[in-house]
């Protein structure tokens, strides 16, 4: 949005300029008028226009003094000067204050249009540059914080990045705690793509402002677009963070009309331990959908109270049940599930008790799936809508069937894996690839190395990793190239050879496709990360 201020002591000229050009087509959405420099300066301070067109000689504050004051107060305006034939000495003085151009009266409409177009183009370029710089800074901030909570950055690098981001005060803190806000509520069902984009950023803005106001820490979005808060201080704050988070959620969730499920990891005493708090907070998200009050902030104490209140038979046998599920011991886990269902029938509200049992078994299922490696097929077991489907059923029989359906799918999957050599072979193949990235690799040569049919290996590889062999190999090579560009001073041509490309130009094309940047651009962008 471009705002224009026209300043001239002649009302006819002011009105003429206001109606001379198709301002809206040019991108000017608001215009104000002033009769002299004093009035104009008041408008500039209050309204912050982008473009200023001013006469020089005016009785109520001349244009030269106005331009000088605008530059003195550092308003980022594009300025055009209107001049009579006898004003050239004033125009030369105005030029010292970075005036974009000047026009002689009477105004030539074509010349006026071209000068305005040039100013607007410059404003647009400046806006794009500022936005890019802001987005680049935000991207750097987010990437550093993600690497921090995922323990993918050492202390020295973290300290350097904090200095660069002007967050060096964090290095003096000795108290940290991670909170996570999940905006997806399984109980509400599918949401639109627009809502998926709106929710994380709206919550992030609210949380960031609140953290800044209370000097409590920083917020960012993790890889799954959840809002993560890192609370930090030199000493443990007196403020009850759980209450603070719950009250913030209560106010903001009503304002934004979005779900707000929050969890809080344990306190840690060093920057290098923050990932422990984050990882533990992630594990608590399994319980977020089970709280009767979705606004409450869940921590270990809440989970302890919740599980101690759950007195159904299997509630105290979690480790044994996870072992039974991982070993596909259907007899063991089904016996416990049946005990739980019989317990539910004896409660005051049998259907609600059965759903509570089912919810606890889904939490158990998610915890089990996290321990199973090697297949994207298992993602279905932790889909966000599992819990909502369970709580929508209207009978205990349906609850029982839903839980059995999920557990049986896991049971069949684990038994199938146990009877196939595929996972072991694929693991050996991926290890071989990672050890020989600088060699000429293909599905055919690797199949020959492991004495296996290349078509079968390709199918097996896709089944176990979720990626085609060529995509997997290219991704590994590109990720290794990115690391070498970031961590070394090797030339791009040398890096191409190290990651298995005999032809540098082909490497450059593949890198641009993968990263969206050339190797040089990528190195420059990540140099300060």
Residue pLDDT tens, the chain, 529 long: 789 999 999 888 999 999 889 898 888 989 999 999 999 999 999 999 999 999 888 889 888 889 889 988 989 889 988 877 555 666 677 677 778 888 888 888 888 888 888 888 888 888 777 766 666 777 888 888 999 998 888 888 888 888 888 888 888 999 999 999 988 775 565 678 888 889 999 999 999 999 999 999 999 999 888 999 999 999 888 888 999 998 998 888 778 888 888 999 999 998 889 999 999 998 888 777 666 666 778 888 888 777 666 566 665 677 788 888 887 888 888 888 888 888 888 888 888 888 888 888 888 888 787 766 554 555 555 565 677 677 778 888 888 888 888 888 888 777 776 555 556 778 888 888 888 888 888 888 888 887 777 777 887 888 788 888 888 898 889 988 988 988 888 898 999 998 888 888 888 888 888 887 888 888 887 765 5
- Which tokens in the block code for residue 368? 């089990």
SS3 content of the chain, % helix, strand, coil (to 5): 65, 10, 25
Helix (H, G, I), strand (E, B) or coil at 343: helix
Half-sphere exposure of 112 (CA within 13 A, CB side): 18
Q: What DSSP string runs through 221-289?
A: E-TTS-EEEEEEESS--SS-HHHHHHHHHHHHHHHHT---EEEEEEEESSGGGHHHHHHHHHHHGGGGG
pLDDT of residue 383: 62
Q: How big is the chain, counted in residues?
A: 529
With beta carbons less than 8 A apart as the criterion, state whether 344 and 298 touch. Answer: no
- Closest listed residue to residue 271, CA positions, set 377, 423, 156: 156
Contact criterion met (CB below 8 Å) for 63 and 37 = yes
CA distance 96 to 357: 77
**What is the per-residue pLDDT for 367?**
78
181 — phi, psi (to 5°)?
-115, 120
Q: Hey, what are 151's tokens?
A: 């323990």
pLDDT of residue 365: 84
C-beta separation of 350 from 342 below 8 A: no
Check residue 448 and give its pLDDT: 83
The packing angle between helices 274-284 and 300-309, to 10°, is 30
E strands, 279-408, are: 297-298
259: its two tokens? 């779900």
């Amino acid at each position: 949005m471009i705002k224009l201020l026209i300043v001239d002591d002649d009302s006819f000229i002011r009105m003429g300029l206001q109606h001379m050009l198709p301002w809206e087509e040019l991108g000017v959405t608001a215009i104000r008028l002033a009769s002299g420099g004093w009035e104009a300066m008041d408008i500039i301070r209050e309204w912050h226009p982008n473009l200023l067109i001013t006469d020089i000689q005016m009785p109520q504050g001349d244009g030269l003094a106005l331009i000088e004051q605008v530059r003195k107060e550092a308003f980022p305006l594009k300025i055009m000067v209107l001049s009579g034939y006898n004003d050239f000495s004033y125009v030369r003085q105005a030029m010292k204050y970075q005036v974009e151009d000047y026009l002689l009266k009477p105004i030539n409409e074509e010349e006026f249009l071209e000068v305005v177009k040039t100013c607007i183009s410059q404003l647009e370029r400046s806006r794009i540059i500022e936005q890019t710089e802001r987005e680049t800074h935000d991207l750097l901030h987010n990437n550093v914080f993600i690497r921090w909570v995922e323990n993918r950055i050492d202390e020295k690098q973290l300290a350097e990045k904090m200095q660069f981001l002007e967050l060096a005060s964090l290095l003096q803190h000795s108290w940290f705690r991670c909170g996570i806000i999940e905006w997806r509520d399984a109980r509400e069902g599918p949401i639109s793509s627009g809502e998926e984009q709106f929710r994380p950023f709206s919550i992030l803005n609210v949380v960031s402002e609140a953290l800044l106001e209370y000097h409590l820490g920083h917020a960012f979005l993790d890889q799954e677009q959840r809002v993560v808060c890192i609370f930090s201080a030199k000493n443990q704050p007196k403020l009850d963070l759980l209450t603070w988070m719950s009250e913030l959620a209560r106010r903001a969730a009503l304002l934004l009309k979005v779900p707000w499920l929050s969890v809080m990891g344990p306190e840690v005493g060093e920057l290098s331990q923050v990932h422990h708090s984050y990882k533990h907070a992630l594990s608590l998200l399994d319980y977020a959908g089970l709280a009767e009050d979705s606004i409450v902030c869940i921590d270990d104490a809440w989970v302890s109270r919740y599980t101690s209140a759950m007195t159904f038979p299997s509630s105290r046998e979690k480790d044994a049940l996870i072992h039974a599920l991982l070993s596909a011991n259907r007899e063991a886990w089904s016996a416990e599930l049946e005990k739980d269902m019989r317990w539910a029938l004896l409660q005051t509200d049998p259907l609600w008790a059965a759903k509570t049992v089912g919810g606890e078994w889904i939490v158990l299922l998610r915890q089990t799936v996290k321990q199973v490696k090697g297949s994207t097929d298992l993602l279905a077991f932790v889909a966000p809508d599992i819990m909502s489907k369970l709580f929508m059923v209207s009978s205990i029989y349906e609850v029982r069937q839903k839980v059995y359906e999920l557990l049986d799918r896991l049971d069949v999957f684990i038994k199938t894996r146990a009877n196939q050599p595929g996972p072991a072979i694929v693991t050996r193949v991926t290890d071989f690839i990672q050890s020989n990235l600088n060699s000429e690799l293909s599905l055919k040569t690797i199949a020959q190395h492991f004495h296996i049919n290349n078509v079968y290996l390709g199918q097996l590889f896709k089944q176990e990793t979720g990626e085609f062999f060529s995509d997997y190999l290219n991704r590994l090579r590109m990720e290794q190239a990115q690391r070498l560009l970031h961590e070394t001073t090797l030339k791009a041509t040398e890096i191409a050879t190290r990651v298995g490309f005999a032809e540098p130009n082909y490497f450059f094309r593949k890198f641009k496709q993968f990263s969206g940047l050339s190797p040089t651009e990528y190195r420059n962008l990540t140099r300060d990360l």
